[in-house]
Amino acid sequence: MPSALPSGRAHERPISRVVTPTVHGGDIEGVREQFGLGDRPLLDFSVSFNPLGAPPTALAAARAALDRVAHYPQPGTPRLAERLAELHGVPVDRIIVGAGTTELIGLIAQSLREVLALHARELGDPGMPLSHLVEPTYTEYRRVSKRNDLRLETWNKHVLGWEQDFLPRSAAGIFWTGHPNNPTGRVWDRDRLLGLVDDTQSLLTVVDEAYLPFLTDEDERTVTTAVAERDNLLVLRSLTKIFSFPGLRVGYAVASPDMVERLTQFQDPWSVSQPAEAAALAALDDDEYLERTRELIATEAARLIDHLWDLPGIRPAWPERQRPATAPPVPNYVLVSLTETRFTSVQVFEALARRGILVRECSDIPGLEVGSLLTGPGQLVASRGHLRFAVRTRAENDKLLSNLREVLMTSNGVLG
């Protein structure tokens, strides 16, 4: 990638190819229809949002903003951008607000498509990979890369580990990484990540911190403030997950001023609604809500993982049961492998759905297919597929555990 991205008005937008949409969790109505559940209540573990629900102040602000629906939102969402700049201690020209991080992920690939292709031709290698990742990871990175003709290179690295530790130094283009990574939950050491970013100037490293606010040591791990000294670093942040209002669609990126300008040129006008902006502004002021959230996740994530290790046929995707003191905190979701069981992840997903419990079945995520192998230093885990569980309240987590045990023990589902 060029050391500095072109500034000024971008070229005409290219027409993108049609790419199959990514499958995500949270399709409550689709599951009801698929299994004939009617209006039966479903307990949703398939999406990793705050189990406390949206802050009441945020919901009240969103309702009040409905009085302004006769007017367009202000372009660029400047009030929220200024609040976020203040939150992270960066200039406001380094903030762009969008309709969730998914919109911004698409804008990154779309806005860099032409400049990266030109750079590859200038290097004499027009077929070089321009988009890089380590899988399993969030499938939107792969989808937008294919949609924008950014040739993809998947780096084959161990995924069983407490922390992430790899950036491709010899590559150029975009490197996508979660912090923590979804769905594995692995987290970066901040100094290690920034050192690798500084060693890979030919890459724009996109660090997706959508789930980082759930960690108790977020302030020590976030790399948002480091963007001010690096043009090759972009950080994605989500407000819909930590504040549990996904229907309002609001997220943001922290990047260099040139990159923010480029993304803005490709962004549709009025991307963020007035109710979404109002809810976000109100939620950001609710410190007590954030404190309660982190305490709940820290306690329940550890407890849920401990009980999952006791279930026959289930292996949480960690190197070992005992987490070392130096391991990062657990995010608000847990990935598990099905091992030594006759059931596949698809079968367990269907059995739980019929019981009114919706989980994220992960066989559509590259690297987590039925029959896939997870590796780590000195480790090899053969699986019958993978499931991801959101961390919810204690009573809800206990209901998941009891139903999961019953499913796995039926019909001689566990080997041995």
Instruction: Render pLDDT for 381-393 as a digit per residue (tens, 0 to 9).
Output: 999 999 999 999 9
CA distance 405 to 331: 23
Helix (H) or strand (E) holding 221: helix 218-221
pLDDT(5) > 60:
no
DSSP string of 139-203, one letter each residue: HHHHHHHHHTT--EEE------SSEE----TT--EEEEEETT-TTT--EE-HHHHHHHHHH-TTE
Average pLDDT, the chain: 90
The yes or no reply on domain 57-284 and CATH 3.40.50.2300 is no
CA distance 50 to 116: 37
pLDDT(398) > 50:
yes
Burial 19-45 (b: 16+ CB within 10 A, else e): eeeeeebbeeeebbeebebeeeebbbb
**Closest among 328, 299, 323 to 186, alpha carbons compared:** 328
pLDDT in tens, 190-207: 999 999 999 999 999 999
Place of tokens 């409905």: 66
Measured in whole angstroms, the distance separating CA 296 from the mean position of its chain's CA atoms is 20
> What per-residue confidence (pLDDT) applies to 354?
93
Q: What is the dihedral of CA 382, 386, 391, 393, to 10 degrees?
A: -100
The residue type at 40: R
Average pLDDT over residues 110-131: 94
* % of the chain surpassing 70 pLDDT: 92
Helix (H) or strand (E) holding 336: strand 333-338
For β-strands 131-133 and 173-178, DSSP reports them as parallel
Place of tokens 């049961």: 321
Q: Does residue 22 or residue 221 have the better pLDDT?
A: 221
Average pLDDT over residues 57-68: 93
pLDDT(292) > 80:
yes
pLDDT in tens, 232-276: 999 999 999 999 999 899 999 999 999 999 999 999 888 999 999
- Residue 363 neighbours by CB under 8 Å, 6+ apart: 344, 345, 346, 369, 370, 385, 386
Give the start-to-end residue ranges of the domains of the chain.
Answer: 28-47+288-412, 57-284
> What per-residue confidence (pLDDT) applies to 412?
52
pLDDT in tens, 310-363: 999 999 988 999 999 999 999 999 999 999 899 999 999 999 999 999 999 999
| Cβ atoms of residues 151 and 130 within 8 Å | yes
**Closest among 402, 381, 383 to 343, alpha carbons compared:** 383
* % of the chain surpassing 90 pLDDT: 81
pTM of structure: 0.91
The yes or no reply on domain 28-47+288-412 and CATH 3.30.465.10 is no
DSSP 72: P
> What per-residue confidence (pLDDT) applies to 21?
46
For β-strands 251-254 and 233-238, DSSP reports them as antiparallel
Three-class SS state of 315: strand
Q: What are phi and psi of 281, to 5 degrees?
A: -60, -40
CA distance 139 to 24: 9
| Cβ atoms of residues 387 and 359 within 8 Å | yes
> What per-residue confidence (pLDDT) applies to 19?
46
